[in-house]
Structure 1
């Protein structure tokens, strides 16, 4: 029996605004202050659509704590549910603020899941075991240094301090979410700041175990991320891995997307530099 072609729901995607009131980095083509206007433009488009929510895939700011005071009011103009996950630049703030970053953007917890019309969205905290996000003295900082050193010893292309990994506890939680979604006959979209596939220097340190877990669940149909600002795409194990492009990049060109969910496919409608894609399920 063919899939229904009825639109189930749609949602918005923003990746890496990375706002800060600082001079641009021309060598990296990053224009930090311009993200306020780009974000406002994206929100104007989103407000003209019927969306279930809008997700920002991390790097809301670029390490200056006060930047939240400038960019969060722009998000308040959004008429849809506004959701966040966090990236490495969100945690590049002074040490006294590290424990407060999640609360500053209103996260219910550092990682969480929710359902929408028979689909489950699993939102990861990719920064959990890293050299920057855990508060000073936290055991995850020491574990991160050990994991990074071990990965670097293998010559891995993603052995960089700007990447990170999941704790074993969060990895087990992800597995439990995938199993529970399967039991509930829900399809799953995993969302994270960091990519895991195709192989890239921006990938999670523990990319292999994440890919193996997701690929082992037929109901996991997509993995959406940011972090690698040029974007990327790959498919393995029946799951589409989409790396959305960074809003902070380029002086004038914007990038964001609307994802339309059908029973048999996902339609990504790209704006600006973001590519449009049809993802068959």
Structure 2
């Protein structure tokens, strides 16, 4: 096996910080995430990483929560990428449209290239009952999607899930083709899982899964949202659901992914799982 990776990157899912009492029912300790995040960043700063990505739910709720957690991220010496999750929109209505800019995102979805890889970061929140402003037709569209899933007996027609809009879906399809044409492998990142079947999957998970299945250069899909974590393989693509940092009083969860020519090596910290994923 090759001894040196092409590059490594750090992964954080669902720190979900807020100055709140613990949710004992769900075993979530949002106030403790500042300490856990500091520890993760100290570990990341000791490593040679290309970047660190947070897969959404930076905060649990309240606009002021960003003021406490974002300065912790400023101590990171590596490039940082954010994705947004449902909890990032549990803010006052006047702030809904400003959430991407608050965390320094020029766009809520984007892509970047690195050493023969194309990373595609999705905004899974576009069609939802929480991210669009009140009265926006996308809220009604989300309700209709949820109802259709419920009627079909699917587990994921939940108010905490969401879907991509048509323009972003078309953009994703174009980016996948561009990567194929340039000989790049693809890693897709989103807050929401799409596989295996789960109550936390995106409202449009079937559509996304079908699109990815058309492309054998998509090696992995990385997400958070389901704090318990999950894993599956479909159409030769690995679907890795990272565990939520916010869960438990003092154990953490984060990871470092090492990308080799023939495999991905995931090193888990705290509750997160170690995995070796051979590439086709």
State the secondary structure of the residue aligned to 1:33: helix
CA-CA distance at 1:139 after TM superposition: 2.2
Does structure 2 conserve the Cα–Cα contact (< 8 Å) formed by 1:5 and 1:264?
no
Stretch of structure 1 that moved more, 141-150 or 49-58: 141-150
1:48 alignment partner in structure 2: 46
User: Which residue does 1:198 correspond to in 2?
Assistant: 196
1:124, 1:146 → 2: CA distance? Answer: 22
Listed as ranges, the gaps of 5+ residues in structure 1 are: none
User: How far did 1:135 drift?
Assistant: 1.4
Give secondary structure in 2 for the equivalent of 1:34: helix
Distance 1:107 1:276 in 2: 30
Gaps of 5+ in 2: none
Distance in 1 (CA, whole Å) between partners of 2:15 and 2:127 is 23
Q: Which residue in 2 is equivalent to 1:153?
A: 151
**CA shift at 1:12, angstroms?**
0.2
Aligned partners of 2:145 and 2:157 also within 8 Å? no
Could you give the per-residue CA deviations for residues 137-191 of structure 1, whole angstroms, max 9, x where no partner exists? 2221121122112222212110100001111111111111110000010000000
Runs of 4+ in 1 over 3 A off after TM superposition: 3-6
- Residue of structure 1 in register with 2:94 after alignment: 96
CA RMSD between the two structures: 1.0
Instruction: Please give the alpha-carbon distance, in whole angstroms, between the structure 1 residues aligned to 2:159 and 2:61.
Output: 15
Q: Distance in 2 between matches of 1:154 and 1:239?
A: 26
TM-score by length of 2: 0.98
Contact 1:7 / 1:261 at 8 angstroms: preserved in 2?
yes
Please say if residues 55 and 190 of structure 2, whose CA atoms lie closer than 8 Å, have aligned partners that are also in contact: yes
Distance 2:127 2:34 in 1: 30
Range that drifts further, 208-217 or 43-52: 208-217
In structure 2, what is the equivalent of residue 132 of structure 1? 130
Contact 1:259 1:268 in 2 (8 A): yes
1:219 is matched with which residue: 202, 217, 220? Answer: 217
Task: Tell me the matched-pair count.
Answer: 279
Q: SS at the partner of 2:222? A: strand
Greater CA drift, 4-13 or 153-162? 4-13
